[in-house]
Every structure is written in C-alpha cells, then in structure tokens.
Amino acid sequence: MCTAADGPPHAVADPVELEALLDEPLPEDGSDLTGLLDHLAQDVLPLGIRFDHPRCFAFVPTTGNYPAVLADLLSTAHLSVPGAWLVGSGPTRVELTALNWLKELLGLPGHWGGLFVSGGSVANLTALAAARDHHLGGDLTGARLYCSTQAHPSIARAVHLLGLGRDQLIALDPDAGQRLDPRGLAARIDADLAAGLRPFAVVATVGTTSTGAVDPVTDLARLCRRYGLWLHVDGAHGAAFALSDRGHALRDALGRADSLTFDPHKWLFQPYETGCVLVRDPELLRATFRMSRHHLDTGYLHPAEARHDEVNLDDLGPQQSRGLRALKVWLSLKTFGAAAFRRAVDHGLHLSDHAAARITAHPDLDLASSPGLGILTFRCRPPGSPADPPAVDRLQQSVSDAVRATGQALLLTTRVHGRTVLRMCTINPATTTADIDAVLELVVRTGREAEQKPR
C-alpha cells in the first residue's frame, strides 16, 4: 500500500503545464471511468500539499482518517441532508449526536448548540453574524469589534461580509507572548465608549495560526461581562487542546464564551470540510438565520417547518441544502473511541515539546516562540552567519525554500514581532520524534550550506 510518507510532502506544477494537461474542451461524449480515476489519482490530485505526510509541518496539517472517508462516501451516496427534519431526520439526529460529543470533548455545557459548517472561516462568520444581530440590531453605526493583530484573517473577512467597515474592526497589538492584552483592550474600549462608539464584541483566539498563542479567555470573558460584550473564541485549531489533560483549564474557559469556532478538520484529524460553530444560546443563531425571519416566502417551505421537538438545522446557519459533515466525526469517534483522539492530541504536544528542547539545545538554532498548542517557531543561525536582521530574515526564507526543494519535509515561514522565522505545526499522530530530529538536522545542514554560498 502506498502511504503519504512514500512521496514528498509537497508537489507543485507549473501553471502553463497544468493548463496544457487539464484545459480541455467540454467532453460531449463520455469516457472510461477507470482511466479517468487513474488520471486524477496519478497526475492531478497529488499536486499540492500532502497534509497527512509525517514531515509536513506547514499551516495546520490534518491527517483525515479512513472511517471519515467512508462516511463522506456514504453520506454522498445517500444524498443525506441534515437541513429540515422532514428532509433528513436520520442525518439531523447524527449531527446533533456528533455535536453533543464535541461539546463533551471540549467541556462545554449541554445547553450549547450549533452546527457543522465548512470550516473555521464560515464558523467565525456565522458566530459573528449572531453577535451583530443580537447586540446591534439593524444599526451598525459606530459599532466596534476587537481582536489582536494575531487573529486569523477570516475575522476581518467576516467583518467585511457583515457590513462593517475596516475601521470598525480594532486589531490591537499583542503582548510579548502574542496574546491579546485585557488591560490594553479595556483602555481602548473605555476610549471608544467615551467617543460615543458602540463596542459589541471581542474575538479571542485559542491557538493563533502563526505561533499557537492562547488569548487569556477567562480574563477576556470577565471583561466582556463587565462591558456587556459578546465574546467569540476562535479555537479553530486550539480548542482541541481541551481534549488533553494539560488543557483541562481551557475547558472551563471555553464555557465562559458566547460562541466558539472549532475545526475538526484540524486537530481532530478529519478530512476537509469539517468545521463547527457552537454558541451558548442557539436561539440567537435561529434569530439570525431562520428562513421564516427573512422576507421572501414562496410557500414551498411550509411543509418542512419543524413540528414539536423536531429540529431544522438549516435554521441555524447560512446553508439550506447542506452535506452531512457530522458523519465523519460520528463514524471516526465510534470506530476509534474518544481516548484515541485524546492520545493523538497529547502526541502532538509531546512532539512540539521535543522539537523545542532540540532547538534550544542546538547551537545553530534559536527558539523564537515556545511551543503553543503544537505550533513553534525558530530561527536557523549557522556559525558565522550575519547578525543584521534583514540578512537573518532572508536566511530563514532560504532555509525553508531549500528544505522544500529536497522533497523531504515542508516547513514554511511566518513573522513574529515583524521578523521572519521558521514555523512547525507538529500535530500529525504519524509523526515520530525521529522525524522531528531528522528535519531539524536537515534545517541545520541547509542553513550551513546557504551560509557558505557567496552573497
């Protein structure tokens, strides 16, 4: 059997070559399906990042898992739609059960509710739409929403889609640990209130994409309560930390928020698109998204209205026809059991601790940010390398490019306090400490080679 580890973690094609391969006239007549599947599997789909490769440390990798792949196949074959109860009562019940399991895994109270969405971006949009409607009604004048500059860009995109201007999102500089500082935030909110503006929401990130930093959710929840603001936690990557023993305190903190983004297609090892939004008061999702709240009523949906204790999940989010994403989570949790997922999250934490210890001990490597939720950043500083910041920054980029060119590993760069650093996200359960050691040695070797090249 061919596994991800047999090939390189990354393959990219030249756009012109790929156009020549794939830009064909509309096929008026059909062709042999087996041949087409071979063509896709050999020539097309491998072009990209192998996120399940044990030496892929880029972005937030996922592994997928076999039961989840079968779940996708099954729900697609059955055209399952957990939209209205009438349309898909079985699929809806599966989704409600999977949501209950996610709440239990994250330590959220039972009365929270929500739904599966495509991923973190749509989860953030969905939660912030409810926050906007609940706090602002239809009047967006002077509204202000706060996050740190380390929040995911999907927050800014959500703000735009929700009809708020750029100046209505206040992105504050983080503290030295890249966290949103509650004192700085309170000062800014006070100033905005004094200026007659209307603060309505704060976004805390649990596991920033760049460094895995965790905003102080409990303090921010207290602050939001004091000012009467909505607290949204973007835990797309990091909420999974709550599964581990080390993350136990996070379970209590998450429950203090008003809404939470969680992406099982990140640290819960699911295939794309498996995102999830959960809110303290699901009625607030219904208030925003319920189809009957909106003005067009052609009558055709009346037969599908929920009766008694039936649930129409399409009333809680932006999609009407929606796939049964939840089945991936349901079938993989049933197949492997929650304990396997907890162990897998712990393994990722162990790997990033191991990497940090190796980096700290190596004379050529400097830790730039300590391992936060399976993500760490560092610099390569070979002996005799220049100290001026632009040259150090360029070296990190060269090392990342050179490592990628070997086809043995993929680690990309990010910026920490304005400086370029190498970044690793170590959450793949198939990655071993030997993989980490080998990749760090490769970084050291390519760093020394890059340094010996004439400048």
Of these, 53, 55, 144, 152, which contacts ligand PLP (CB under 6 A)? 152
Does residue number 55 form part of the binding site for ligand PLP (CB under 6 A)?
Answer: no
Segment contacting ligand PLP by CB under 6 A, of 100-108, 114-122, 134-142, 223-231: 114-122
> Cα separation of 202 and 278, whole Å?
16
Of these, 83, 275, 372, 382, which contacts ligand PLP (CB under 6 A)? 275
Does residue number 326 form part of the binding site for ligand PLP (CB under 6 A)?
Answer: no
Nearer to ligand PLP, 60 or 380 (CB): 60
* 3-state secondary structure at position 230: strand
Least Cα distance to 188 among 176, 202, 177 occurs for 202
Does residue number 234 form part of the binding site for ligand PLP (CB under 6 A)?
Answer: yes
- Whose tokens are 């080679």? That residue is 449
Segment contacting ligand PLP by CB under 6 A, of 6-14, 116-124, 242-250, 312-320: 116-124
Does residue number 422 form part of the binding site for ligand PLP (CB under 6 A)?
Answer: no
Nearer to ligand PLP, 277 or 284 (CB): 277
Total chain residues near ligand PLP (CB under 6 A): 13
Does residue number 209 form part of the binding site for ligand PLP (CB under 6 A)?
Answer: yes
- C-alpha to C-alpha distances, 112 to 252, 254, 259, 329, 351, nearest whole angstrom: 14, 11, 9, 18, 33
Of these, 52, 263, 315, 451, which contacts ligand PLP (CB under 6 A)? 263
Minimum CB–partner distance for residue 105 and ligand PLP (Å): 18
Of these, 71, 81, 236, 239, which contacts ligand PLP (CB under 6 A)? 236
Minimum CB–partner distance for residue 235 and ligand PLP (Å): 7
Residue type at 265 in one-letter notation: H
* 3-state secondary structure at position 77: helix
Does residue number 80 form part of the binding site for ligand PLP (CB under 6 A)?
Answer: no
- C-alpha to C-alpha distances, 147 to 170, 172, 419, 438, nearest whole angstrom: 6, 6, 21, 37
| String marking each residue 178-207 x if it binds ligand PLP according to CB under 6 A | ---------------------------x--
- Whose tokens are 């939720």? That residue is 373
Exposure string over 358-394, b if 16+ CB within 10 A, otherwise e: bbeebebbebbbbbbbbbbbbbbbbeebeeeeeebbe
Least Cα distance to 227 among 194, 195, 204, 199 occurs for 199
Does residue number 229 form part of the binding site for ligand PLP (CB under 6 A)?
Answer: no
Least Cα distance to 131 among 111, 155, 150 occurs for 155
Minimum CB–partner distance for residue 325 and ligand PLP (Å): 12
Does residue number 154 form part of the binding site for ligand PLP (CB under 6 A)?
Answer: yes
> Cα separation of 440 and 413, whole Å?
14
Contact present, 196 and 143 (Cβ < 8 Å): no
Q: Which residues make up the interface to ligand PLP (CB under 6 A)? A: 60, 119-121, 152, 154, 205, 209, 234, 236-237, 263, 275
